[in-house]
Amino acid sequence: MQIRNIAIIAHVDHGKTTLVDKILHQTNVFRANQETGDLIMDNNDLERERGITILAKNVSVVYKDVKINVIDTPGHADFGGEVERVLKMADGVILLVDAFEGPMPQTRFVLQKALQLNLKPMVVINKVDKPNCRPDEVHDAVFDLFFSLDATEEQLDFPTFYGSGKNGWFNDSNVQCEDITPLMDGILKYVPEPKIPEGNLQMQITSLDYSTFLGRIAVGKVTRGMVKENQPISLMQVDGTVKKARVKELYIFESLGKKRVTEVYAGDICAVVGLEDFNIGDTIADAENPEALPVISVDEPTMNMTFSINNSPFFGKDGKFVTSRHLRDRLNKELEKNLALRVQDSDNADSFVVYGRGILHLGVLIETMRREGYELTVGQPQVIVKMIDGKRSEPYENLVVDVPQEFASKVIDLVTRRKGEMHIMETKGDMQHLEFEIPSRGLIGLRTQMLTATAGEAVMAHRFNEYKPWKGPIPGRNNGVLIAKEAGTTTGYSLDKLQDRGFFFVDPGEEVYKGMIIGENSKPGDLVVNANEGKKLTNMRASGSDAATNIAPKTLMTLEECMEYIQHDECIEVTPNFIRMRKVYLDEEDRKKYSKMMKIEEA
């Protein structure tokens, strides 16, 4: 059977997973009466809740007697490590672009990787049914993007399809048709068959799967030769060591699942069971004459955070895994499949420095651990600083903001205060398109402020650009916080009396402890407050009836918002049921000593 291997790449929210849904329906993967729902490929809870793809996934369909392996990739810059490695399995890419937004920063990032691997591109302009869409302008912008990325003549001659994934049609002209048949025919026509060089077995492990019955499973494309069940092989590791092993079981991808087979030929994507101690990037090669494939290189992390055990007064009340050994084992397990992550031991035996691609990348890891029953404390995210040519340098990012015109000045003001420089300003319909270059530090906490300033209308995206000289101090949070004075249960009476001091992150009746952050001060500077005081009751009725307490509901903050909110002397306590912000030093005297030390160091 002929094979086509294709990856779908795009920016966040441009419709990759919806397109995969349509391909599955078009090729009759499901029975006529089967309930499928939508976003079929986003199968873990976090992906469905956030509406984003986090892990790359494989699915295979048969169309006109040709097997098409489709790889759905994440669109978020923080999961670029996932995209870089799975593109190695593909021979062609579908670049999906929104007909209104056009190419975005992440589009550029993933397309660059695909062109470097010499993959054959097809462009799909999605959402042409949206108001304000401009498919022709977007097509020109995509061509300019290809040109600026030094695409070859052959790559510049890409076929373009227009359509709407939501309404289930794609055509090679901007004329509505019945379904996605033109696109499926285009895949067979334009995506080349896998090129198979002569020689012995070679297969690079580009992805991991895990099964409670079979253990760790290696996934990759057989580049040349063939692999059989029970065959002795050499596992060539990234560090140069070669281990002898045997293939216990072999699976190929069929529809949404896997099918056990006895042999797989070059060009197909398969899953190998029975290997131990393998990592992503290792090569499965011939037992007698092993030859390794080039190692997968992944861009370096740009941000780090300190993960430590939960040492708050509520330690161990909520979680199942609470010790530093649990934490170390879990982080090491994550390293096996999360290529863009790094973990280092710190000076303290109970804490680890974890390096990642950005706030979302680290936030998803923390959220996953929390749901698995871990308790931990995480510190403020810090950018990674390097010395380049004797100068202190920090990562810079390209920031793109699309915002209604009336809010453009507010966005420019916010970004320039954080040391951003505007490079492009143009009008797209009734939206203003702004592009900046900004230090990565300036992005921490920017999203929340920007959404507040633009009434939630701003759409922002960013991607790492390069390291440049340090830009000087960047102003942090303007307001201080309200800190609990002592442990206890908050009362409506106290919170009502404190409302003029700011707004709260707790409701009446919640357990708090000394040093916990329970609200934001309406002024600069931190304030210690007593939120646990009850009303003094007497046996005499007050002359006027009690004023009813009108307490504003607490402000709910997501994990990422907390990560962007905290300052260097604060941290987040994360447990399966609670996310609490607190001061690193719970005692007020300790905090004063710490701030004095910091002032002396800065001086």
User: What is the per-residue DSSP string for 49-84?
Assistant: HHT---S-EEEEEEETTEEEEEEE---SGGGHHHHH
If asked whether residues 510 and 574 sit together in one domain, one would say yes
If asked whether residues 485 and 530 sit together in one domain, one would say yes
What does the pLDDT read at residue 603? Answer: 61
Of 46-55, 244-253, 377-386, the range with the lowest mean pLDDT is 46-55
- Nearest by Cα to 208 from 278, 264, 262, 255: 278
For the domain that residue 157 is a member of, what is the CATH number?
Answer: 3.40.50.300
Residue 356 marked in a binding site: no
What does the pLDDT read at residue 174? Answer: 73
The single-letter DSSP state of residue 89 is G
The single-letter DSSP state of residue 267 is T
Compute the Cα dihedral for 584, 590, 592, 598 and give only its sign: negative
Residue 298 within any structural domain of the chain: no
What does the pLDDT read at residue 400? Answer: 85
Task: Round to whole Å and give the CA distance between 463 and 105.
Answer: 6
Write the pLDDT tens digit of every residue in 102-158. 887 667 777 888 888 888 899 988 888 887 788 888 899 889 888 888 888 888 888
Q: 171: domain range? A: 2-190
Give yes or no for residue 494 having a pLDDT over 80: yes
Pair 255, 69: CB distance under 8 Å:
no
What does the pLDDT read at residue 263? Answer: 85
Task: Round to whole Å and give the CA distance between 283 and 290.
Answer: 9
Q: What is the rounded average pLDDT of the residues 188-202?
A: 85
If asked whether residues 101 and 172 sit together in one domain, one would say yes
Task: Round to whole Å and give the CA distance between 429 and 490.
Answer: 50
Q: What is the rounded average pLDDT of the residues 494-507?
A: 90
What does the pLDDT read at residue 298? Answer: 67
Residue 300 within any structural domain of the chain: no
Give yes or no for residue 432 having a pLDDT over 70: yes
Give yes or no for residue 412 having a pLDDT over 60: yes
What does the pLDDT read at residue 75? Answer: 58
What does the pLDDT read at residue 539? Answer: 62
- Nearest by Cα to 492 from 538, 542, 528, 535: 535
Q: What percent of the chain has pLDDT over 70?
A: 89
Cα dihedral 83/150/267/200 (nearest 10):
-110
pLDDT band with cut points at 50, 70 and 90 for residue 30 = very low
- Nearest by Cα to 375 from 431, 433, 307: 307
Task: Round to whole Å and give the CA distance between 283 and 582.
Answer: 46
If asked whether residues 170 and 217 sit together in one domain, one would say no
For the domain that residue 408 is a member of, what is the CATH number?
Answer: 3.30.70.240
If asked whether residues 146 and 25 sit together in one domain, one would say yes
Pair 329, 397: CB distance under 8 Å:
no
C-alpha to C-alpha distances, 438 to 5, 85, 470, 586, nearest whole angstrom = 37, 28, 11, 34
If asked whether residues 452 and 402 sit together in one domain, one would say yes
If asked whether residues 182 and 96 sit together in one domain, one would say yes
Task: Round to whole Å and give the CA distance between 89 and 111.
Answer: 15
The C-alpha angle with vertex 419 and arms to 364 and 148, in degrees rounded to 5, equals 75
Give yes or no for residue 40 having a pLDDT over 50: no
What does the pLDDT read at residue 300? Answer: 75
User: Across the chain, what does the average pLDDT equal?
Assistant: 82
Residue corresponding to tokens 């939501």: 166
What does the pLDDT read at residue 544? Answer: 41
Residue 329 within any structural domain of the chain: no
If asked whether residues 457 and 516 sit together in one domain, one would say no
Phi, psi of 73 (to 5 degrees): -110, 160
For the domain that residue 269 is a member of, what is the CATH number?
Answer: 2.40.30.10
Task: Round to whole Å and give the CA distance between 579 and 561.
Answer: 11
**What does the H/E/C string look like for 472-541?**
CCCCCCCCCEEEECCCEECCHHHHHHCHHHEEECCCCCCEECCCEEEEEECCCCCEEECCCCCCCCCCCC
Stretch (H or E) spanning 434: strand 431-439
Residue corresponding to tokens 């905090």: 591
Residue 112 within any structural domain of the chain: yes
Within 8 A by CB and 6+ apart from 473, the residues are none
If asked whether residues 72 and 145 sit together in one domain, one would say yes
The overall pTM is greater than 0.85: no
Pair 205, 279: CB distance under 8 Å:
yes
Domain boundary among 286, 312, 328: 286
Residue 215, both tokens: 């253990």
Residue 14 marked in a binding site: yes
Write the pLDDT tens digit of every residue in 146-178. 888 888 888 888 899 988 888 888 888 777 777
pLDDT band with cut points at 50, 70 and 90 for residue 61 = confident
If asked whether residues 461 and 528 sit together in one domain, one would say no
DSSP per position, 295-339: PPP-PPP-EEEEEE---STTTTSS-SB-SHHHHHHHHHHHHHH-T
- Nearest by Cα to 223 from 183, 181, 195, 252: 195
Write the pLDDT tens digit of every residue in 244-281. 888 888 888 877 778 888 888 888 888 888 887 787 78
Residue 13 marked in a binding site: yes
Domain boundary among 445, 469, 493: 469
Of 378-392, 471-485, 536-550, the range with the lowest mean pLDDT is 536-550
If asked whether residues 518 and 567 sit together in one domain, one would say yes
Residue 433 marked in a binding site: no
What does the pLDDT read at residue 578? Answer: 92
Give yes or no for residue 485 having a pLDDT over 50: yes
DSSP per position, 343-400: EEE-SSTTEEEEEESSHHHHHHHHHHHHHTTB-EEEE--EEPPEEETTEEEEEEEEEE
For 170, the 3-state DSSP assignment is strand
What does the pLDDT read at residue 31? Answer: 42
Domain boundary among 447, 469, 491: 469
Task: Round to whole Å and give the CA distance between 277 and 65.
Answer: 37
If asked whether residues 76 and 149 sit together in one domain, one would say yes
Residue 371 within any structural domain of the chain: no
**What does the H/E/C string look like for 193-244?**
CCCCCCCCCEEEEEEEEEECCCEEEEEEEEEECEEECCCEEEEECCCCCEEE
Pair 4, 69: CB distance under 8 Å:
yes
Residue 127 marked in a binding site: yes
What does the pLDDT read at residue 573? Answer: 94
Task: Round to whole Å and give the CA distance between 380 and 572.
Answer: 8
For the domain that residue 496 is a member of, what is the CATH number?
Answer: 2.40.50.250
Residue 522 within any structural domain of the chain: yes
Partner residues linked to 581 by β-bridges:
572
Residue 250 within any structural domain of the chain: yes
Residue 344 within any structural domain of the chain: no
Task: Round to whole Å and give the CA distance between 307 and 169.
Answer: 47
More confident residue, 548 or 153: 153
Compute the Cα dihedral for 297, 303, 309, 315 and give only its sign: negative
Q: What is the rounded average pLDDT of the residues 201-229?
A: 82
What does the pLDDT read at residue 511? Answer: 92
Task: Round to whole Å and give the CA distance between 517 and 513.
Answer: 9
Number of structural domains in the chain: 4
More confident residue, 520 or 340: 520
Residue 554 marked in a binding site: no
More confident residue, 293 or 502: 502
Task: Round to whole Å and give the CA distance between 170 and 178.
Answer: 8
